[in-house]
Amino acid sequence: MVNAKRVCWLLLILAPVIAASGCPGTDILRTGNGTYVIEVVVTNNDPVVDGFRYDFADLFIGQVNIRPVDSVADAALGPRDIGAVSGAIDINLTMGTAEPTTLLLSSGAYRLTLVQVAGIDLFDFDATFTACDDFDEYPAQFTQNLYDLEDFGQTVILNVDADTEGTLTITIDAQAFVDAFEAGFTCNLTQQCGFGFNAVPPPCILNFSESTFVNGMGAAFSFN
């Protein structure tokens, strides 16, 4: 992940060079800095009202990447995006809590390019193991993977003004998120999964479709 401060300094260093060349659209590279806060809001997670069954549901947003809208600044940045978070954002879906993160950027407009999800941890204390949608938790090889959301259904723009603070609010529909995650699994209702010491009786998980999950995950995220 690209360090946002290093990229910011790169843009500031390049600004006089690009401006001197007479290239248009270099206002994004001004020396004035703005502050942007990325906050996460969780909805649709009430066990009574929304039917959210998990007693514990946690995940991380490991990366939030952006790029300048300005074509000159975008070219100056090179192939690597700006990492908008310096560390993982820990999100508790059941409590609806997450610590906001603050980013310092040169003035200008930026477009969101990536939201990376990892560390999915779901646990249902009342699970009965009688159906594929009633497991208590899911295998670590699926929950600890990195899942990249790059199609947001819209162009998400961060407008950064010098010496002011803006906010990007990422809203996660908790029920839609777990529905998408559960939909990625193929379940076996009649035969065991695996062999020997690794055999698991039915109902059990046969495999997982990352594309099914990621495609469904997009519906769980909105940006303002």
Q: 79 is in which domain, residue-wise? A: 4-173
Residue 51: per-residue pLDDT: 81
Please list the ranges in the chain whose pLDDT falls under 50: 1-32
- Single-letter code of the amino acid located at 208: F
In a domain, 89, yes or no: yes
Residue 3: C-alpha distances to residues 55, 83, 85, 118, 126 (Å): 35, 6, 8, 19, 42
In a domain, 192, yes or no: no
Q: Give a yes or no: residue 163 inside a domain.
A: yes
Q: What is the reported pLDDT for 144?
A: 65
Strand order through the sheet with 221-223:
101-106, 33-43, 165-173, 221-223
Give me the pLDDT at residue 42, please. 95
In a domain, 218, yes or no: no
R_g (Cα) of the chain, nearest Å: 21
Asked if residue 181 belongs to a domain, the reply is no
Can you give the pLDDT at residue 4? 35
Q: How many domains does the chain have?
A: 1
Whether residue 196 is contained in a domain is answered as no
Tokens in use for 41? Answer: 């809001």
What local confidence, expressed as pLDDT, does residue 155 receive?
Answer: 92
- Rounded to two decimals, the pTM is 0.76
Asked if the structure places residue 185 within a domain, the reply is no
